[in-house]
Structure 1
């Protein structure tokens, strides 16, 4: 079915005969017709002509495993092994955690069209209207010491930022510590990594990503309009969510491979290059209180290095960052 969809998309301006599809796929005309019916059931609009064949005239507004699998394959990525797709869930993180506990393999991806209780860092709610954004969580089983988990968070932020910059050019998208993505100071994406360890080694990591793709101003609560936005609002047109997901996993797989081979150094340099808050005075909200400092980079563990008013540089492992001026 994926190959038929790919051929129909390549022939976007005309028809493909059932005979040609049959020969290309080495299946019967009846089997072709059955695959076409499956595509229609998945939401694709296909015009059939007894004389001319089949023509793709409309795509589903919903994400489908078939479309996403095809686009992942077109990118040459293999990190995603299984896709679980839902119309509505409380949180994709919750579903992925349950699957991980049940033994789901690395590369299991959970995607929902809508979340009723989507969450971000510090338990904050993530706005998740149906069909407008990307709400997904995937399972990693890196088998590394627990203290490396923050580095995976930063790696994920770099992969997503690079993917969105490529797809949504010329938008200037950057990273705010540790893993929020911003356009013009407004948030478009959040990343939440949650891990479970055993004897100080990671059993699994759940990487959750929320992206405000095609939300309009009406989708955001009034109190968020000054601090949140979407790719569609900023770009002036909607984007294909499957393209974004495939682009992200292409970048993630490349960086994950580099990280496993060469360590955190290359990821650290990429993160620093994409940061929009380095070398700017910042109010840091810590568990111990608030302080003013200037972020200057990351250390080898992935902590944020900040310069205090007395000139000393110290690492910060967890904080909220409020740029000043």
Structure 2
């Protein structure tokens, strides 16, 4: 991660070069735009090339940027990101075992509220209940978000539902009508397109940090999925029929998350609950809830103020609170 001043200069250079299209821009113009010396421009251009940007330099003409392939670097994400604090500190990688582990380590060292850890690939991605999360190279968005809410630890699970709403809103903004399956799956046409894994770091009465792991299938094609999940998973590209710009989608997600997070902190869980129920594909359906203790067949009647699923037993009419477990929806 680079210092804020350096990142600002790089951002200004990229914006100027991108705006110019195929035209060359002089080093002097770039220096004036970024408010630095021409020597500093050259150094930042060199740093951007090391990040993967193709920038041509021609004597007496200046610099020109070559259109860039879809990449999730710190600079790419920050350019155009309009959040106040979510995603303003970024740790971007090409390949890691899992972003959750790195985020947990950073949080323990005092990482800023809103820090994200993102990787083009995870080799040991994990889902809920220690399941494997397939995280292929350049296919989706694999990231962990560090937040430090001033709420009681027992309210932390609400952030899983909040994150699901942010994912659905960004998907719908991109033209894909996604819905939420309790507690942490985002589905399109019955197939999983995103998952959320929330880890709490706290003492009995105080949260130190919440690490929210998010996996979103963006540009995978059917052949990119393993045979065991091919019929169960989908991606935004499959549903929309075209590939998406992952940076633009990620910026949308981070913006929606921040808006919902601020709403949650100031107004409580009720407005989040209402949004979640609006996009739920679980509520109102016949379901089988399998927990560590029992299996319940019934009707998913709603969620309570803690985001716990309420299932009414179809035989006894007794209401059961499902804090965790697997839910099978019967169409």
Q: Distance in 2 between matches of 1:246 and 1:42?
A: 19
Moved more, 192-201 or 102-111: 102-111
Distance of 2:16 and 2:83 partners within structure 1? 18
The offset of 1:198, in angstroms, is: 0.8
- Pick which of 20-29 and 131-140 moved more: 20-29
Tell me the equivalent position of 1:221: 226
Secondary structure (helix, strand or coil) at the match of 1:35 reads: helix
2:303 corresponds, among 264, 278, 298, to 298
Partner of 1:281: 286
209, 224, 228: which one pairs with 2:214?
A: 209
Note closer, same or farther for the CA distance 1:137–1:178 as it changes in structure 2 (3 Å cut). same
User: Which residue does 2:159 correspond to in 1?
Assistant: 152
Q: Deviations over 1:72-123 (max 9, x none)?
A: 2xx2432234211222211111111122223323222111111111001000
Tell me which residue corresponds to 1:83. Answer: 90
1:322 equivalent among 307, 321, 328: 328
1:308 equivalent to 2:313? Answer: yes
Q: Summarize the alignment of residues 93-104 of structure 1 with structure 2, pairs less than 5 Å apart.
A: 93-104=100-111
Mapped to 2, the partners of 1:232 and 1:2 lie a distance apart of 28
Provide the TM-score with structure 1 as the length reference.
0.92
Cα distance 1:307–1:13, how it changes in 2: closer, same or farther (>3 A)?
farther
Give the one of 154, 164, 180 matched to 2:171: 164
Q: Deviations over 1:139-166 (max 9, x none)?
A: 1221321210111111111111111211
Which stretch of the first structure deviates more once superposed, 180-189 or 281-290? 281-290
Whether the aligned pair in 2 keeps the contact of 1:46 and 1:57 (CA below 8 Å) is yes
| Aligned pairs for 1:1-325 within 5 A | 1-12=10-21, 14-72=23-81, 75-167=82-174, 169=175, 171-309=176-314, 310-325=316-331
What is the RMSD of the two structures over their aligned residues, measured on CA atoms?
1.8
Q: 1:84 and 1:244 mapped to 2: Cα distance?
A: 18
Shift of 1:324: 1.0
Contact 1:100-1:204 within 8 A present in 2 as well: yes
SS of the aligned residue for 2:283 comes to coil
Question: How far off its partner does 1:273 sit?
Answer: 0.4
**Please, which runs of 5 or more residues in structure 2 have no aligned partner?**
1-9
Aligned 8 A contact 1:306 1:316 in 2 = yes
State the SS of the aligned residue for 1:294: strand
The two structures have a TM-score, normalised by structure 2, of: 0.91
- Is the deviation greater in 129-138 or in 81-90? 81-90
Q: What SS does structure 1 have at the residue aligned with 2:169?
A: helix
Secondary structure, aligned partner of 2:66: strand
Q: Which moved more, 1:264-273 or 1:276-285?
A: 276-285
8 Å CA contact 2:199, 2:212 repeated in 1:
yes
Matches of 2:83 and 2:106, distance apart in 1: 25
Conservation of the 8 A alpha-carbon contact between 1:88 and 1:115: yes
Greater CA drift, 203-212 or 46-55: 46-55
Cα pair distance change 1:13/1:296, threshold 3 Å = farther
